[in-house]
């Protein structure tokens, strides 16, 4: 190795050790989790299909069917059947879908990412019986189709192209344009930026059960504020990308639900109450047995959630369910029709998040999951046996277990996950709810995926054990992570976790690094495998830091409505107060924590929290590292920020008090501010405004710009490694790691 190729060494061997570990994590990818799938449950309820490497040198993936009970394996589609042109390689399967009769296969390939989650690509259809393989789209440009799906009879495919919906007949190849007004401002069949980001609406159209009609979202973006991303590096002159992004309090897209004949013709608009720029329709589906549409309809403040049934022929609606809250409501994802023609629903109307059965005639809902606990997620329904399966963790907000309750609402919920199990458990139930793909992990143990029978939870077979990864990380997990609760006053106890350095000596003093988030969008104190983020914390612990984390009130822990919604209209102040109170309590309770060496770091909302902590409690926090923060809440999008804060025109003081930019004069410690200039989610603009404020205040700080990187700051060779090495270096240089013995007590004099 030449001198130029020799890795640079730092002045601190502990930092060199951290960087060596970070290279293994972020560059060499030695600790990547092996996932199972992608897989599909088959409609027969007795099998699933998945992708497996095809034998031979040609590459590609076979689609394989496994019988649930016996494990018998059968190749349904060989990779060799998915060759688009003679002599070419098999299609690289990004995703795949079966027609209902199983006679045709739809393959998504040649994908190109548009935003973080929106992906365009090519679609091919294979007729399984004949082996005929055909590319869809006619003269469409490569990688330009989205969200293709079979009609109910499998004879046609609908997809989105250039903001319009098209239907292609698989028998004769005719392509019909269902909508014709798609443009830069009109979107049919998919969504605008903010619906995609905050509601997860991407696949924006639905075939009717009879295949005659298509219902879809239509967005009119005219009047929405336009944001510009500037690429200064890839060409001689900067390239500007513009897109519509509504910031809090500004104009939203006008959103309508429309129904058009699949063969073309005039659309019917669904007559929802209110102005289409001041309500949201986060969910929409067909009702199989009636041919109606069922829609969720939320007001702009997102504290009212109505369910409407709509006649697709006339557009008229009737309300069948109304839910409201003094703070905010979350979108309900679990809805499905139960055997008694009732809608499965979730509500916090009695103080806990529970499952309900809502009759179509708008009579009161029936409670299905009584008890003082939250339903974390509904996993499935066993209609034949009359049971609802859901995740919950009564009495322990850091874990997740499977429970089941009777659909008649009688009796108490029963835990299905074995009583001896700990950690976090996730389930994907088969169509008849007799089996589940079960994923289990802890904060110190990588995921294991197996097939289990329900309700016995008997393991049928292991699908992915990640045994090699478990062996590789085992030496890093010593000492194990500690979970704890800390009293922050006012009768509030916060859950937390803590990682101590190897060879920990309680008679010495260690620096404390707190990892924070603290906003309503996520909880961090959960006993599950955290992947690269968790391994990064382990690397810092090895260098001599105690790494900790607590979840304040206002985070979505399963501790009841009041816990979560106490921060309404004031996101930031209470959270930062409780985070600081937790640190003070830990310093008082644990003599091995060094009060002179306390730091905080976080990403996105956690970056905002880090700023709030440094600015509001400079006597506690000596160092902060804020990655992609929101320094000014008025700059973030309508759906997220208004959900928790209301409109800035009506809550100006709340927005100001929650925004760290207005408290920058409190900065006394060392601050590292990091942002990607191509962040289309949390804009670089906010950090630039904070930079200007700190310059005006004469505050020293360090700023790192990652050109053209998104909110994830991972695009481009070496980016993730560089970022984490930057964080580690800044921490080591400004908050020295490792233990030190307490100063000896002064000898009394006489």
The pLDDT tens digits of the residues spanning 612-626 come to: 999 999 999 999 999
Q: Which of 607, 601, 618 is nearest to 540 (CA)?
A: 601
Q: Are residues 164 and 241 in the same domain?
A: no
Per-residue pLDDT reduced to its tens digit, 369-403: 999 999 999 999 999 999 999 999 999 999 999 99
Q: What is the mean pLDDT of residues 185-193?
A: 97
Percent of the chain at pLDDT exceeding 90: 92
Residue 256: how many other CB atoms lie within 10 Å:
18
* CATH code for the domain in which residue 501 is found: 3.40.50.1820
Q: What is the mean pLDDT of residues 114-125?
A: 83
Per-residue pLDDT reduced to its tens digit, 409-452: 999 999 999 999 999 999 999 999 999 999 999 999 999 999 99
CA separation (Å) from 730 to 377, 596, 620, 714?
Answer: 39, 17, 18, 19
Q: Has residue 44 got a pLDDT over 90?
A: no
Number of domains comprising the chain: 3
pLDDT of amino acid 87: 82
Residue-averaged pLDDT of the chain: 95
Residue 638 resides in a domain: yes
d(Cα 623, Cα 668) in Å, to the nearest integer? 9
pLDDT of amino acid 425: 98
Q: What is the mean pLDDT of residues 261-288?
A: 96
SS3 for 22? helix
Structure token pair of residue 746:
């002064």
Q: What is the largest CA-CA distance in the chain?
A: 105
Confidence of residue 5 (pLDDT cuts 50, 70, 90): very low
Residue 743 resides in a domain: no
Confidence of residue 745 (pLDDT cuts 50, 70, 90): low
Residue 400 resides in a domain: no
**CB neighbour class for 485 (10 Å; exposed up to 12, middle 13-18, buried from 19):** middle
Q: Are residues 99 and 169 in the same domain?
A: yes
pTM reported for the whole predicted model: 0.95
pLDDT of amino acid 13: 85
Instruction: Using the 3D structure, point to which of 323, 357, 376 is the last residue of a domain.
Output: 323
pLDDT of amino acid 8: 58
Q: Are residues 236 and 277 in the same domain?
A: yes
Residue 419 resides in a domain: no
pLDDT of amino acid 746: 56
Instruction: Using the 3D structure, point to which of 289, 323, 357 is the last residue of a domain.
Output: 323
Q: Where are the beta strands (DSSP E) in 181-238?
A: 186-188, 205-207, 213-220, 226-231
Q: Has residue 116 got a pLDDT over 80?
A: no
Q: Are residues 61 and 204 in the same domain?
A: no
Q: What is the mean pLDDT of residues 274-302?
A: 97
d(Cα 565, Cα 329) in Å, to the nearest integer? 10
Residue 11 resides in a domain: no
Q: Has residue 492 got a pLDDT over 90?
A: yes
pLDDT of amino acid 113: 83
**DSSP designation for 666:** G
Q: Are residues 199 and 113 in the same domain?
A: no
d(Cα 707, Cα 728) in Å, to the nearest integer? 20
pLDDT of amino acid 749: 53
Q: Are residues 85 and 141 in the same domain?
A: yes
Least confident of 5-14, 41-50, 97-106: 5-14
Phi, psi angles (nearest 5°) of residue 187: -120, 125
Q: Has residue 326 got a pLDDT over 50?
A: yes
Give the sign of the dihedral formed by CA 42, CA 48, CA 51, CA 57: negative
d(Cα 520, Cα 640) in Å, to the nearest integer? 10
d(Cα 6, Cα 15) in Å, to the nearest integer? 16
Q: Are residues 133 and 257 in the same domain?
A: no
pLDDT of amino acid 43: 80
Q: Are residues 553 and 638 in the same domain?
A: yes
Residue 313 resides in a domain: yes
Confidence of residue 550 (pLDDT cuts 50, 70, 90): very high
Residues near 16 by Cβ (< 8 Å), separated by ≥ 6?
A: 9, 10
Range of the domain at 202: 183-323
pLDDT of amino acid 1: 39
d(Cα 11, Cα 33) in Å, to the nearest integer? 33
pLDDT of amino acid 572: 97
pLDDT of amino acid 57: 61
Q: Are residues 157 and 219 in the same domain?
A: no
Q: Are residues 121 and 263 in the same domain?
A: no
Q: Has residue 514 got a pLDDT over 80?
A: yes
Q: Has residue 750 got a pLDDT over 60?
A: no
Confidence of residue 335 (pLDDT cuts 50, 70, 90): confident
* CATH code for the domain in which residue 96 is found: 2.120.10.30
Higher pLDDT, 38 or 666: 666
Residue 343 resides in a domain: no
Q: Which of 412, 411, 415 is nearest to 402 (CA)?
A: 415
Higher pLDDT, 404 or 744: 404
Instruction: Using the 3D structure, point to which of 273, 304, 323 is the last residue of a domain.
Output: 323
Residue 426, H or E segment: strand 424-429
Phi, psi angles (nearest 5°) of residue 561: -60, -45
Burial code of 541-559, b = ≥16 C-beta within 10 A, e = fewer?
A: bbbbbbbbbbbbbbbbbbb
Q: Has residue 125 got a pLDDT over 80?
A: yes
Burial code of 61-76, b = ≥16 C-beta within 10 A, e = fewer?
A: bbbbbbebeeeeeeeb
Q: Give the chain's end-to-end CA distance (angstroms, integer).
A: 66
Q: Are residues 585 and 650 in the same domain?
A: yes
Q: Are residues 163 and 264 in the same domain?
A: no
Per-residue pLDDT reduced to its tens digit, 126-147: 999 899 999 999 999 999 999 9
Residue 689 resides in a domain: no
**Are 23 and 721 contacting, i.e. CB atoms less than 8 angstroms apart?**
yes
Per-residue pLDDT reduced to its tens digit, 231-244: 999 999 999 999 99
Per-residue pLDDT reduced to its tens digit, 565-585: 999 999 999 999 999 999 999
d(Cα 39, Cα 313) in Å, to the nearest integer? 37
The CA radius of gyration of the chain, in Å to the nearest whole number, is 27
**Are 377 and 353 contacting, i.e. CB atoms less than 8 angstroms apart?**
no
Burial code of 573-584, b = ≥16 C-beta within 10 A, e = fewer?
A: ebbbbbbbbbbb
């Amino acid at each position: 190795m030449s001198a130029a190729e020799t890795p640079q060494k730092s002045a601190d061997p502990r930092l060199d050790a951290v960087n060596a570990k970070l290279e293994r994590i972020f560059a060499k990818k030695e600790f990547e989790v092996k996932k199972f799938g992608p897989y599909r449950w088959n409609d027969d309820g007795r099998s699933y299909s998945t992708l497996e490497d095809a034998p031979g040198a040609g590459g590609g993936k076979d689609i394989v069917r496994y019988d649930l009970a016996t494990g018998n394996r059968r190749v349904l589609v060989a990779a060799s059947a998915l060759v688009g042109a003679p002599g070419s390689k098999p299609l690289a399967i990004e995703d795949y879908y079966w027609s209902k009769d199983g006679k045709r296969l739809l393959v998504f390939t040649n994908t190109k990412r548009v935003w973080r989650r929106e992906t365009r690509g090519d679609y091919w259809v294979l007729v399984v019986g004949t082996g005929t393989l055909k590319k869809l789209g006619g003269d469409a440009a490569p990688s330009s189709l989205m969200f293709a799906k079979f009609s109910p009879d499998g004879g046609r495919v609908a997809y989105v192209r250039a903001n319009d919906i098209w239907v292609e007949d698989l028998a004769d190849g005719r392509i019909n344009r269902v909508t014709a007004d798609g443009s830069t401002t009109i979107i049919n069949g998919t969504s605008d930026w903010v619906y995609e980001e905050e509601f997860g609406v991407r696949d924006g159209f639905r075939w009717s059960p009879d295949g005659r009609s298509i219902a879809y979202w239509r967005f009119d973006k005219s009047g929405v504020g336009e944001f510009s991303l500037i690429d200064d590096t890839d060409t001689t002159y900067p390239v500007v990308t513009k897109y519509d992004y509504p910031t809090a309090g500004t104009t939203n897209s006008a959103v309508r639900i429309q129904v058009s004949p699949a063969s073309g013709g005039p659309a019917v608009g669904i007559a929802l109450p209110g102005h289409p720029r001041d309500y949201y329709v986060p969910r929409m589906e067909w009702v199989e047995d009636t041919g109606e549409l069922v829609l969720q309809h939320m007001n702009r403040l997102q504290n009212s959630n109505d369910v409407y049934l709509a006649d697709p022929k006339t557009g008229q609606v009737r309300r069948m369910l109304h839910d409201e809250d003094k703070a905010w409501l979350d979108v309900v994802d679990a809805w499905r029709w139960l055997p008694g023609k009732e809608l499965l629903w979730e509500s916090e109307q009695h103080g806990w998040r529970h499952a309900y059965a809502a009759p179509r005639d708008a009579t009161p809902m029936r409670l299905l999951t009584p008890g003082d606990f939250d339903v974390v997620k509904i996993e499935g329904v066993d209609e034949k046996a009359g049971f609802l399966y859901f995740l919950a963790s009564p009495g322990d907000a850091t874990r997740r277990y499977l429970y089941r309750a009777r659909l008649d609402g009688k009796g108490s919920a029963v835990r299905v996950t074995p009583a001896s199990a700990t950690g976090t458990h996730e389930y994907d139930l088969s169509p008849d709810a007799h089996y589940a793909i079960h994923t289990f992990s802890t904060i110190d143990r990588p995921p294991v995926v197996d097939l289990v029978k329900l309700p016995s939870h008997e393991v049928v077979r292991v699908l992915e054990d990640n045994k090699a990864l478990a062996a590789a990380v085992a030496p890093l997990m010593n000492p194990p992570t500690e979970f704890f609760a800390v009293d922050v006053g006012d009768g509030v106890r916060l859950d937390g976790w803590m990682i101590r350095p190897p060879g920990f000596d309680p008679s010495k003093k260690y620096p404390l690094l707190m990892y924070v988030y603290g906003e309503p969008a996520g909880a961090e104190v959960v006993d599950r495998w955290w992947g690269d983020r968790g391994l990064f914390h382990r690397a810092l612990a090895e260098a001599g830091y105690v790494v900790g984390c607590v979840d304040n009130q206002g985070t979505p822990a399963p501790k009841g409505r009041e816990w979560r919604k106490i921060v309404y209209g004031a996101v930031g102040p209470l959270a930062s107060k409780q985070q600081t109170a937790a640190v003070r309590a830990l310093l008082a309770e644990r003599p091995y924590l060094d009060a002179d060496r306390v730091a905080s770091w976080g990403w996105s909302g956690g970056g905002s929290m880090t700023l709030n902590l440094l600015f509001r409690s400079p006597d506690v926090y000596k160092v902060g590292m804020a990655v992609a923060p929101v320094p000014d809440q008025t700059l973030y999008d309508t759906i997220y920020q208004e959900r928790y804060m209301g409109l800035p025109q009506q809550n100006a003081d709340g927005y100001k008090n929650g925004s760290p930019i207005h408290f920058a004069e409190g900065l006394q410690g060392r601050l590292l501010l990091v942002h990607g200039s191509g962040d289309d989610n949390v804009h670089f603009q906010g950090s630039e405004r904070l930079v200007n404020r700190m310059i005006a205040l004469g505050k020293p700080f360090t700023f790192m710009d990652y050109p053209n990187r998104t909110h994830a700051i991972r695009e481009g060779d070496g980016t993730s490694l560089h970022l984490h090495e930057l964080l580690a270096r800044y921490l080591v240089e400004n908050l020295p790691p490792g233990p030190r013995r307490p100063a000896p007590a002064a000898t009394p004099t006489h």
